[in-house]
Amino acid sequence: HKGNFLAITDLLSRFEAVQGAIPPTARELLGPAVQSVRRRMWPGLRTHTWTSLRIQHWVADAGAEVERLRGLVQRLADLVDLRVQRNLGLVAKTVLVDLPKDRGFTLDQFVQAQQARVRTEGRALASKNAEVEAAVAD
C-alpha cells in the first residue's frame, strides 16, 4: 500500500509542477489540456482504494497524460523563449534615430539620413514581426 501511496503522491506532485510551469499568459490557452488531465485523474482518485487491482494501471495512464501535458508546456515555453522573446528583444534594441556625435548636419542631411536608416531598420523590423507572428500562429 505504501508503494501505491508514493506513486499517487508522485503523480500529483508532477501534475502540480507542470501546472506551475504554465506561463500566466498561456493558462487560458492550455486550460482544456489541463482539464483533460484532471478528467483522466479524477476517476482513479475517487474510486480506487489502496488495494484496488487496477491502481497501477491508472497511475501509469494518468502519468502518461501528465507527461503529455508537460511536453506541451515545454514546447510552448521553448516557442515563446526562442521564437518570440528573442525577436522582441531584437526589436526593442533597434535604434531608429542616428545622431552623429562627430559632425554637424543640416536639416535636409538629417532627414535623408534618418529616412535611409528607417527604411533599412523597417525592413528588419518587418522581418522580425513576421517571425513573431509565425511563432504565435504555431
Distance from C-alpha of 111 to C-alpha of 122, rounded to nearest angstrom: 16
DSSP structural state of residue 26? G
- For residues 71 and 111, state if they share a domain: no
The number of distinct structural domains making up the chain is: 2
Asked if 124 and 94 count as a contact pair (C-beta separation under 8 A), the reply is yes
pLDDT of residue 101: 82
pLDDT of residue 50: 63
Is 87 a member of any domain? no
Is 37 a member of any domain? yes
What's the sign of the alpha-carbon dihedral 65, 11, 35, 19?
negative
Cα distances from 130 to residues 6, 21, 75, in angstroms, run 48, 27, 20
One digit per residue, the tens of pLDDT, for the chain of length 138 reads 788 889 889 999 999 999 999 988 889 989 999 999 999 998 887 876 666 767 888 899 999 999 999 999 998 888 888 777 788 888 888 888 878 788 888 889 888 888 988 888 888 888 888 888 887 777
- For residues 71 and 108, state if they share a domain: no
Is 89 a member of any domain? no
Domain that holds residue 109: 94-138
Asked if 65 and 86 count as a contact pair (C-beta separation under 8 A), the reply is no
Query: Is residue 138 within a helix (H) or strand (E), and if so which, with residue range?
Result: none
pLDDT of residue 51: 67
Is 85 a member of any domain? no
pLDDT of residue 14: 97
- For residues 66 and 103, state if they share a domain: no
